[in-house]
Every structure is written in structure tokens, then in C-alpha cells.
Amino acid sequence: MTGYKKAFGAIAVVLLILIADQVIKIWVKTHFALAEDFRITNWFHIRFIENPGMAMGIEIIKKSFLTVFRIALSIAIVYYIYSLIRNNFKLSYILLVSMIFAGAIGNIVDSVFYGVIFSESTSVNVAVLFPPEGGYGSWLHGKVVDMFYFPLFTFTWPSWMPWIGGTEFEFFRYIFNLADASISVGMVVLILFFRKTLSLSFEKQKIES
């Protein structure tokens, strides 16, 4: 397969994931109040939350620094994809890396733009896109929109267990978005099935540099 076809495949995957991710986020943001929950099945809910920090809501560094770091990392991934195409790596591997890149860009869009283009979401007010009075934040300080919630099962730890005895455990309690899923699926498949290809790609990077 030619490099042009591989580049087209990578671009198509990125655009498909990015557009779908943003359509879902904008719809949820403009139709749900913060923390509003819509149950589709017992094990699948749409629950709107906003994530101000990193994955799983962890916030350990300044928001603007985190956003700039994500942008820099995404630029590095673009160059990596370009090198994969130039060195004629398998299309399947290129598409996996493109999935990871698309997920990263999807959350960067939220962080860069959402604070400016949306009014604030609260438990009683649904956000407005392009509000006349301006957004809830500034550039680089937008919050990432999450909505997919899969409470597959819950149970209570036995009372005799130290520290956690008597507490409730829920799987899967984390709420995420399509961009997160794209990154996670891409990383898991890459690690399970493409570890040799990953190592080879970095070896070629060292030779070229």
C-alpha cells in the first residue's frame, strides 16, 4: 500500500473520531445539566460530568500547563505518524497510533476552546453555546466533557477485610468520553499485539536522528 493511501487512512480515522467525539460532547453539554443522568440500561448510563484535570479527574498540575503539554505531545505524535508512513509501517499500526492521536486532540479541543465558547454548566442550568455574555473561562482553561458511565456490577466487601471491609465496590465507576475510549483502546491493542512494531519504530527513529 502506498504512503498516500496510508496517510489518507490515518487522516480519515482522526477526522471520524474527532468529529464524532465533538458532536457527542456538544450535544451532551447543551442538553444535560451538570451531573444529570440518563439511564439507557442498568449497566449503561449517560451521565454528564466535567473533568478539570487529567484522566479520571486527577488534577495535580496547573490547567494551562497541562493543556500546553497535551498540545506538544500531540505534535510529537503527528511527527511519529509521519515517520511511520515514510518508513512503510503496516497500516493497522498506523491506524492505532492515529486513534491515540485523535483521542488526544479531542480532549485538547475541550481544554482550549470550551471555556470560551460555552456558558457554565450547573446542576440546574444547561450550558449555552456561544453565550452573549461570554464563556465560563478563558483560553486553555476549558473543562473536558465526560458522559459514558458503565456501572456493570457492584458488591460490598466482606466486613472482616481490613481497611475496605463493609465498603461498596463498583465496576466500572469511571465516567469517560469517546476520546478517552479511543486512546485506551489504541494503547491496549498496541501493547498486546504490536510491541515488536513499537520497538522497531523507535529503533528507526534513533537511526534517522
pLDDT tens across 15-35, in order?
Answer: 999 999 999 999 999 999 999
199 vs 109: CA distance, rounded Å:
30
115 vs 36: CA distance, rounded Å:
20
Q: Taking residues 121-148, what's their average pLDDT?
A: 95
As for how many domains the chain has, the answer is: 1
186 vs 198: CA distance, rounded Å:
13
Q: Where does the pLDDT of residue 208 fall: very low under 50, low under 70, confident under 90, or very high at 90 and above?
A: low
Higher pLDDT, 148 or 71: 148
* CA-based end-to-end distance of the chain: 26
Q: Taking residues 98-102, what's their average pLDDT?
A: 97
The yes-or-no verdict on residue 54 having pLDDT over 70 is no
pLDDT for residue 197 = 92
Q: Taking residues 72-85, what's their average pLDDT?
A: 94
The yes-or-no verdict on residue 119 having pLDDT over 60 is yes
30 vs 23: CA distance, rounded Å:
11
Q: Identify the domain containing residue 158 by its residue range.
A: 3-208
> Which residues are designated catalytic?
146, 180
3-state secondary structure 79-117: HHHHHHHHCCCCHHHHHHHHHHHHHHHHHHHHHHHHHHH
pLDDT for residue 61 = 55
User: What's this model's pTM, rounded to 2 decimal places?
Assistant: 0.88
Return mean pLDDT, the chain: 90
78 and 87 Cβ atoms separated by less than 8 Å: no
- Within 8 A by CB and 6+ apart from 65, the residues are none
How far is CA 182 from each of CA 16, 21, 117, 131, rounded to the nearest angstrom? 11, 10, 24, 30
154 forms bridges with which residues in the sheet? Answer: 170
148 and 175 Cβ atoms separated by less than 8 Å: yes
